[in-house]
Amino acid sequence: MKIMIVTPYFYPKIGGLENYVKNLVNWLKTNGDDVLVVTSSDNDHVEYIEGIKIYRLKKSLTISNTPLSFSWFFKIRKILKNEKPDIVNAHMPVPGLSDIACILTNVPLIVTYHAGRMRKDNQILDILLYFYERFILQNYIFNKARAIVVPSSFVIKNMKINPRKAIVIPPCVTGGMIKIKNKKHKVIKVISVGGLKKSEKHKGIEYIIRAFPKIIDSYPMARLLLVGNGDANRIKELDNTAKILKVEKYVDFVGEKSSPYLDKIFGSSDVLVVPSLNESFGMVIIEGMSMGIPVVASNIGGIPEIISNGVNGILVPPGEPEYLSKAVIEIMDDKQLRNKFILNGRDLVKEKFSLEKLGCSNYKIFEKVLYGA
């Protein structure tokens, strides 16, 4: 089977969508399929990574993390003509590249939609996004797609996707499971992983900063590690919040990290906090669980499909710092509860979020669409 995967960004860029695509591509290649990737870049070129052909198409501009170029219409048409794929698998929601592939393809189309609605808290952008979602995405692309893969049931409802076309296939964790760690360090490390850009305020990072004064009261040696790439203005805004609350010396902006550096940070951390205001799944949650870290997360979006409150983590109301601090302190105070969350989280990841499950589930959809199997 020849599969053309179209994605706005691809490895070496890291992120939930990018990791999902990379894992899927690697599994399909190992399965013996002919896979090619079409993605955006700063310049036009073709390269091979581990035997996988990658078309990197030059973007003309970027608007709110969305790469765009009118020339992509002609370039993708040429790629489709020359490569003759059996199936096109378009990964979204970043508008642009994948939409063009969806419009141009005449072979069976499978859309993988990774998120919910794309509101940006910008009036002009939100109006444009409304019309895009309503008339291009839902009325045309979702109708044209033979199947729509989503990471959680929440996305089906949030995006009003036809349930007969929708299939839930969550992301996976590729690293090994680790055992419960006997912490010997005195410093309590609370980690939060998420975008620190203005367009990513929905990650709710400021709320864990606002929760930190109470955490410090109970654990004066606590430190907050904020992992993620961001723009200077947004980081300054978050840093100012920490200064106003007089916790700036307890907060470290460590920047964007990938394996093995992120694994080391996870490995030395005591609690993972995911304070999102909007989240279609929460990839970092299963990554944290696989690394043996108890999780506190917002009770919103697709997160409750991962965390059962009090069983493998704690769910809190979104945007409520006092609940975040209370949950973190509860976990640090109760070793038995902490170990329960670690064991149950690890078992959940092992059962539901393996690479084999992600690969096999997607492949069955490809076969069904192409062969009617």
Share of the chain above pLDDT 90, in %: 76
Average pLDDT, the chain: 92
In 3D, which of 355, 177, 337, 293 has the Cα closest to residue 285? 293
DSSP 213-246: HHHHHH-TTEEEEEES-B-HHHHHHHHHHHHHTT
Is pLDDT at 180 greater than 60 in this prediction? no
Mean pLDDT of 79-86: 98
Mean pLDDT of 21-45: 97
Q: Which pLDDT belongs to residue 20?
A: 93
Q: How far is CA 90 from CA 55, 144, 183, in A?
A: 14, 12, 43
Mean pLDDT of 357-364: 97
Cα–Cα distance for residue pair 325/273, rounded to 1 Å: 10
Is pLDDT at 284 greater than 80 in this prediction? yes
End-to-end Cα, the chain, rounded Å: 14
Is pLDDT at 175 greater than 60 in this prediction? yes
Is pLDDT at 177 greater than 60 in this prediction? no
Cα–Cα distance for residue pair 252/319, rounded to 1 Å: 21
In 3D, which of 263, 241, 245 has the Cα closest to residue 253? 241
Is pLDDT at 64 greater than 80 in this prediction? no
Kindly give, in sequence order, each residue whose CB lies less than 8 Å from that of residue 282, ignoring residues fewer than 6 positions away: 274, 276, 297, 301, 302, 303, 306
- What letter represents residue 152's amino acid? S
Is pLDDT at 13 greater than 70 in this prediction? yes
Q: Which pLDDT belongs to residue 208?
A: 97
Mean pLDDT of 176-205: 76
Could you tell me the domains of the chain?
2-172+354-371 (3.40.50.2000), 188-352 (3.40.50.2000)
Which residue's entry shows tokens 């036009």?
Answer: 44
Is pLDDT at 183 greater than 60 in this prediction? no
Q: Which pLDDT belongs to residue 373?
A: 59
Per-residue pLDDT band for 239 (boundaries 50, 70, 90) equals: very high
Q: Do 165 and 145 touch, CB atoms closer than 8 A?
A: yes
* Residue pLDDT, tens place only, 311-359: 999 999 999 999 999 999 999 999 999 999 999 999 999 999 999 999 9
Q: Do 101 and 88 touch, CB atoms closer than 8 A?
A: yes
Mean pLDDT of 173-192: 70
Mean pLDDT of 63-84: 94
Per-residue pLDDT band for 182 (boundaries 50, 70, 90) equals: low
Per-residue pLDDT band for 259 (boundaries 50, 70, 90) equals: low
Q: Which pLDDT belongs to residue 258?
A: 67
Helices (H) and strands (E) in the chain, counts: 13, 16
Strands lying side by side in the sheet with 271-274: 251-255, 222-227, 188-193, 271-274, 295-298, 314-316
Looking at residue 70, what DSSP letter applies?
A: T
Cα–Cα distance for residue pair 172/24, rounded to 1 Å: 9
Is pLDDT at 124 greater than 70 in this prediction? yes
Is pLDDT at 133 greater than 80 in this prediction? yes
pTM for the whole structure: 0.91
Q: Which pLDDT belongs to residue 15?
A: 79
Cα–Cα distance for residue pair 65/20, rounded to 1 Å: 18
Is pLDDT at 310 greater than 80 in this prediction? yes
Cα–Cα distance for residue pair 373/367, rounded to 1 Å: 6
In 3D, which of 107, 151, 77, 145 has the Cα closest to residue 3? 107
Cα–Cα distance for residue pair 258/272, rounded to 1 Å: 16
Which residue's entry shows tokens 């489709």?
Answer: 80
